[in-house]
Amino acid sequence: MAVSPKVVNIHPVVLFSIVDSYERRTDENARVIGTLLGTNIQGVVEVTNCFCVPHNESEDEVAVDMEFAKNMFELHKKVNSWENIVGWYATGSDITGHSVLIHDYYSRECQNPVHVTVDTTLTDFSLSVKTWVRQNMGVPDKSQGTVFIPMPMKITCHQPERVAMDALLRGKDPHKKTMDMNSDLEYVSKSAGKLQDMLSSVLNYVDDILSGKISADNQIGRFLMNLVANVPRLQRDEFDEMLNNSMKDLLMVVYLSGLIETQLTLNEKLTLSHAANSV
Protein backbone atom coordinates (compact mmCIF):
# COMPACT_ATOMS: atom_id res chain seq x y z
CA MET A 1 0.00 0.00 0.00
CA ALA A 2 1.45 3.36 -1.07
CA VAL A 3 2.17 5.80 1.72
CA SER A 4 0.58 9.25 1.49
CA PRO A 5 3.09 11.61 -0.19
CA LYS A 6 5.17 13.76 2.14
CA VAL A 7 7.57 15.37 -0.32
CA VAL A 8 7.90 15.33 -4.11
CA ASN A 9 11.29 15.30 -5.90
CA ILE A 10 11.11 16.21 -9.58
CA HIS A 11 13.96 15.59 -12.02
CA PRO A 12 14.84 18.19 -14.70
CA VAL A 13 14.05 15.82 -17.60
CA VAL A 14 10.42 15.80 -16.45
CA LEU A 15 10.15 19.59 -16.68
CA PHE A 16 11.82 19.58 -20.10
CA SER A 17 9.32 16.98 -21.33
CA ILE A 18 6.36 18.98 -20.00
CA VAL A 19 7.53 22.19 -21.66
CA ASP A 20 8.22 20.32 -24.91
CA SER A 21 4.72 18.78 -24.93
CA TYR A 22 3.26 22.24 -24.31
CA GLU A 23 5.18 23.72 -27.25
CA ARG A 24 3.99 20.88 -29.52
CA ARG A 25 0.32 21.14 -28.55
CA THR A 26 -2.38 21.82 -31.14
CA ASP A 27 -3.99 25.22 -31.41
CA GLU A 28 -7.30 24.11 -29.89
CA ASN A 29 -5.70 22.91 -26.64
CA ALA A 30 -5.16 25.57 -24.00
CA ARG A 31 -3.16 23.20 -21.82
CA VAL A 32 -1.62 19.74 -21.91
CA ILE A 33 -1.80 16.91 -19.40
CA GLY A 34 0.23 13.77 -18.92
CA THR A 35 1.25 10.89 -16.69
CA LEU A 36 4.04 11.13 -14.11
CA LEU A 37 6.27 8.09 -13.61
CA GLY A 38 8.63 7.28 -10.77
CA THR A 39 8.58 5.78 -7.29
CA ASN A 40 6.85 6.36 -3.98
CA ILE A 41 9.02 5.06 -1.14
CA GLN A 42 7.83 5.79 2.37
CA GLY A 43 6.02 8.93 1.21
CA VAL A 44 8.98 10.32 -0.77
CA VAL A 45 7.77 10.60 -4.37
CA GLU A 46 10.55 10.60 -6.96
CA VAL A 47 9.30 11.76 -10.38
CA THR A 48 11.83 10.59 -12.97
CA ASN A 49 9.83 10.41 -16.20
CA CYS A 50 6.57 11.42 -17.85
CA PHE A 51 4.62 11.31 -21.09
CA CYS A 52 1.87 13.46 -22.58
CA VAL A 53 -1.69 12.11 -22.87
CA PRO A 54 -4.03 13.46 -25.60
CA HIS A 55 -7.22 15.04 -24.29
CA ASN A 56 -10.02 17.37 -25.35
CA GLU A 57 -11.35 19.96 -22.96
CA SER A 58 -14.29 22.34 -23.14
CA GLU A 59 -16.33 24.28 -20.62
CA ASP A 60 -18.80 21.42 -20.12
CA GLU A 61 -16.74 18.24 -20.46
CA VAL A 62 -13.30 16.70 -20.69
CA ALA A 63 -12.26 13.59 -22.61
CA VAL A 64 -8.97 11.79 -21.96
CA ASP A 65 -7.53 9.09 -24.22
CA MET A 66 -7.21 6.44 -21.51
CA GLU A 67 -6.30 3.69 -24.00
CA PHE A 68 -3.32 5.74 -25.18
CA ALA A 69 -2.23 6.31 -21.57
CA LYS A 70 -2.36 2.57 -20.81
CA ASN A 71 -0.41 1.62 -23.94
CA MET A 72 2.28 4.23 -23.27
CA PHE A 73 2.67 3.04 -19.69
CA GLU A 74 3.10 -0.56 -20.84
CA LEU A 75 5.82 0.53 -23.29
CA HIS A 76 7.61 2.50 -20.57
CA LYS A 77 7.50 -0.53 -18.24
CA LYS A 78 9.41 -2.57 -20.84
CA VAL A 79 12.26 -0.06 -20.71
CA ASN A 80 12.16 1.03 -17.05
CA SER A 81 10.43 -1.72 -15.11
CA TRP A 82 10.95 0.04 -11.77
CA GLU A 83 8.95 3.13 -12.77
CA ASN A 84 5.29 3.23 -11.78
CA ILE A 85 2.52 5.78 -12.14
CA VAL A 86 2.78 8.30 -9.30
CA GLY A 87 0.39 11.00 -10.55
CA TRP A 88 -0.23 13.41 -13.41
CA TYR A 89 0.70 16.88 -14.57
CA ALA A 90 -1.04 19.80 -16.25
CA THR A 91 0.24 23.08 -17.62
CA GLY A 92 -1.18 26.25 -16.17
CA SER A 93 -1.40 27.57 -12.63
CA ASP A 94 -5.11 26.90 -11.99
CA ILE A 95 -6.86 23.75 -10.77
CA THR A 96 -10.17 23.52 -12.59
CA GLY A 97 -13.25 21.39 -12.05
CA HIS A 98 -12.01 19.09 -14.80
CA SER A 99 -8.88 18.45 -12.75
CA VAL A 100 -11.00 16.58 -10.21
CA LEU A 101 -12.33 14.26 -12.93
CA ILE A 102 -8.85 13.60 -14.32
CA HIS A 103 -7.55 12.99 -10.80
CA ASP A 104 -10.28 10.38 -10.28
CA TYR A 105 -8.89 8.42 -13.23
CA TYR A 106 -5.34 8.46 -11.86
CA SER A 107 -6.65 7.48 -8.43
CA ARG A 108 -7.68 4.20 -10.02
CA GLU A 109 -4.22 3.73 -11.55
CA CYS A 110 -2.26 4.37 -8.33
CA GLN A 111 -2.89 5.13 -4.69
CA ASN A 112 -2.45 8.71 -3.46
CA PRO A 113 -1.48 10.25 -6.84
CA VAL A 114 0.24 13.63 -6.90
CA HIS A 115 -0.74 16.47 -9.20
CA VAL A 116 1.94 18.78 -10.64
CA THR A 117 1.06 22.13 -12.23
CA VAL A 118 3.59 23.92 -14.42
CA ASP A 119 2.87 27.55 -15.27
CA THR A 120 4.23 27.80 -18.82
CA THR A 121 3.07 31.42 -19.18
CA LEU A 122 6.33 32.41 -17.42
CA THR A 123 4.67 34.88 -15.09
CA ASP A 124 7.34 37.10 -13.51
CA PHE A 125 9.79 35.45 -15.94
CA SER A 126 9.88 32.23 -13.94
CA LEU A 127 8.61 28.70 -14.50
CA SER A 128 6.35 28.13 -11.50
CA VAL A 129 6.09 24.46 -10.51
CA LYS A 130 3.70 23.34 -7.75
CA THR A 131 2.68 19.94 -6.43
CA TRP A 132 -0.68 19.01 -4.95
CA VAL A 133 -2.48 16.10 -3.31
CA ARG A 134 -6.21 15.69 -3.07
CA GLN A 135 -8.03 15.45 0.23
CA ASN A 136 -11.72 14.84 0.77
CA MET A 137 -13.59 17.18 3.07
CA GLY A 138 -17.15 17.56 4.33
CA VAL A 139 -19.62 16.04 6.78
CA PRO A 140 -19.68 12.22 7.01
CA ASP A 141 -22.71 10.63 5.30
CA LYS A 142 -23.66 14.06 3.99
CA SER A 143 -22.20 16.53 1.55
CA GLN A 144 -18.63 15.75 0.51
CA GLY A 145 -16.11 17.91 -1.31
CA THR A 146 -12.57 17.82 -2.61
CA VAL A 147 -9.69 20.17 -1.95
CA PHE A 148 -6.14 20.13 -3.37
CA ILE A 149 -3.46 20.74 -0.76
CA PRO A 150 0.03 21.99 -1.77
CA MET A 151 2.96 19.68 -1.09
CA PRO A 152 6.66 20.37 -0.45
CA MET A 153 8.59 20.06 -3.70
CA LYS A 154 12.18 20.34 -4.82
CA ILE A 155 14.10 19.90 -8.05
CA THR A 156 16.65 17.12 -7.75
CA CYS A 157 18.93 15.37 -10.19
CA HIS A 158 21.43 12.55 -10.45
CA GLN A 159 25.07 13.23 -11.25
CA PRO A 160 24.74 12.67 -15.04
CA GLU A 161 21.76 15.03 -15.07
CA ARG A 162 23.79 17.63 -13.19
CA VAL A 163 26.55 17.42 -15.81
CA ALA A 164 23.97 17.95 -18.56
CA MET A 165 22.42 20.90 -16.70
CA ASP A 166 25.85 22.53 -16.30
CA ALA A 167 26.43 22.10 -20.03
CA LEU A 168 23.07 23.72 -20.83
CA LEU A 169 23.80 26.65 -18.54
CA ARG A 170 27.14 27.25 -20.24
CA GLY A 171 25.36 27.36 -23.60
CA LYS A 172 22.72 29.95 -22.67
CA ASP A 173 24.66 32.75 -24.37
CA PRO A 174 22.66 33.51 -27.57
CA HIS A 175 25.76 34.84 -29.34
CA LYS A 176 27.68 31.60 -28.88
CA LYS A 177 26.66 28.97 -31.42
CA THR A 178 29.00 26.20 -30.28
CA MET A 179 30.07 24.98 -26.88
CA ASP A 180 33.02 22.82 -25.89
CA MET A 181 32.50 20.06 -23.36
CA ASN A 182 34.74 20.04 -20.31
CA SER A 183 37.24 17.23 -20.03
CA ASP A 184 37.09 14.85 -17.08
CA LEU A 185 40.02 16.60 -15.42
CA GLU A 186 38.43 20.03 -15.88
CA TYR A 187 35.15 18.79 -14.43
CA VAL A 188 36.93 17.29 -11.41
CA SER A 189 38.83 20.55 -10.89
CA LYS A 190 35.62 22.59 -11.12
CA SER A 191 33.82 20.28 -8.68
CA ALA A 192 36.74 20.45 -6.26
CA GLY A 193 36.65 24.26 -6.46
CA LYS A 194 32.93 24.30 -5.66
CA LEU A 195 33.50 21.95 -2.74
CA GLN A 196 36.27 24.17 -1.40
CA ASP A 197 34.04 27.24 -1.64
CA MET A 198 31.24 25.47 0.26
CA LEU A 199 33.66 24.35 2.97
CA SER A 200 34.91 27.92 3.30
CA SER A 201 31.34 29.17 3.69
CA VAL A 202 30.67 26.61 6.41
CA LEU A 203 33.87 27.49 8.26
CA ASN A 204 33.08 31.21 8.09
CA TYR A 205 29.57 30.51 9.41
CA VAL A 206 30.95 28.51 12.35
CA ASP A 207 33.54 31.20 13.10
CA ASP A 208 30.84 33.88 13.12
CA ILE A 209 28.79 31.86 15.60
CA LEU A 210 31.79 31.27 17.88
CA SER A 211 32.67 34.97 17.80
CA GLY A 212 29.08 35.96 18.59
CA LYS A 213 28.44 37.84 15.32
CA ILE A 214 25.34 35.77 14.56
CA SER A 215 23.06 33.58 16.64
CA ALA A 216 23.28 29.80 16.41
CA ASP A 217 20.65 27.74 14.58
CA ASN A 218 20.05 24.34 16.21
CA GLN A 219 18.77 22.77 13.01
CA ILE A 220 21.86 23.78 11.03
CA GLY A 221 24.04 22.59 13.91
CA ARG A 222 22.46 19.13 13.86
CA PHE A 223 22.87 18.98 10.09
CA LEU A 224 26.58 19.84 10.36
CA MET A 225 27.06 17.24 13.10
CA ASN A 226 25.50 14.55 10.91
CA LEU A 227 27.66 15.69 7.99
CA VAL A 228 30.86 15.48 10.01
CA ALA A 229 29.87 12.10 11.48
CA ASN A 230 29.41 10.63 7.99
CA VAL A 231 32.92 11.59 6.88
CA PRO A 232 35.32 8.64 7.40
CA ARG A 233 38.22 9.41 9.70
CA LEU A 234 41.44 8.73 7.80
CA GLN A 235 44.99 9.65 8.61
CA ARG A 236 46.88 11.69 6.03
CA ASP A 237 49.14 8.75 5.10
CA GLU A 238 46.16 6.43 4.70
CA PHE A 239 44.35 8.93 2.48
CA ASP A 240 47.44 9.48 0.30
CA GLU A 241 47.93 5.72 -0.08
CA MET A 242 44.28 5.17 -1.02
CA LEU A 243 44.37 8.02 -3.56
CA ASN A 244 47.63 6.82 -5.11
CA ASN A 245 46.36 3.25 -5.44
CA SER A 246 43.18 4.46 -7.13
CA MET A 247 45.21 6.68 -9.46
CA LYS A 248 47.46 3.76 -10.41
CA ASP A 249 44.42 1.61 -11.22
CA LEU A 250 42.93 4.41 -13.32
CA LEU A 251 46.17 4.95 -15.26
CA MET A 252 46.44 1.22 -15.87
CA VAL A 253 42.90 1.11 -17.29
CA VAL A 254 43.64 4.12 -19.52
CA TYR A 255 46.87 2.51 -20.73
CA LEU A 256 45.17 -0.81 -21.51
CA SER A 257 42.34 0.97 -23.32
CA GLY A 258 44.83 2.83 -25.52
CA LEU A 259 46.77 -0.36 -26.18
CA ILE A 260 43.62 -2.24 -27.22
CA GLU A 261 42.57 0.62 -29.51
CA THR A 262 46.00 0.62 -31.17
CA GLN A 263 45.87 -3.17 -31.59
CA LEU A 264 42.42 -3.04 -33.20
CA THR A 265 43.49 -0.26 -35.58
CA LEU A 266 46.61 -2.18 -36.59
CA ASN A 267 44.61 -5.38 -37.11
CA GLU A 268 42.09 -3.52 -39.28
CA LYS A 269 44.82 -2.08 -41.50
CA LEU A 270 46.54 -5.47 -41.87
CA THR A 271 43.21 -7.06 -42.81
CA LEU A 272 42.50 -4.41 -45.45
CA SER A 273 46.04 -4.72 -46.82
CA HIS A 274 45.74 -8.51 -47.06
CA ALA A 275 42.38 -8.23 -48.81
CA ALA A 276 43.80 -5.73 -51.31
CA ASN A 277 46.78 -7.98 -52.13
CA SER A 278 44.49 -10.96 -52.61
CA VAL A 279 42.49 -9.08 -55.24
CA pair distance 14, 20, nearest whole angstrom: 10
pTM to 2 decimals? Answer: 0.67
Least confident of 46-60, 89-103, 151-165: 151-165
**Residues near 35 by Cβ (< 8 Å), separated by ≥ 6?**
50, 51, 53, 69, 72, 73, 85, 87, 88, 89, 106
* Residue 179: pLDDT band with limits 50, 70, 90: low
Q: What value does the mean pLDDT of the chain take?
A: 85
Q: How many residues appear in the chain?
A: 279
* Residue 2: pLDDT band with limits 50, 70, 90: low
* Residue 276: pLDDT band with limits 50, 70, 90: confident
- Model pLDDT, residue 177: 66
Each residue's pLDDT tens digit, 263-274:
888 888 888 877
Residue 233 has pLDDT above 80, yes or no: no
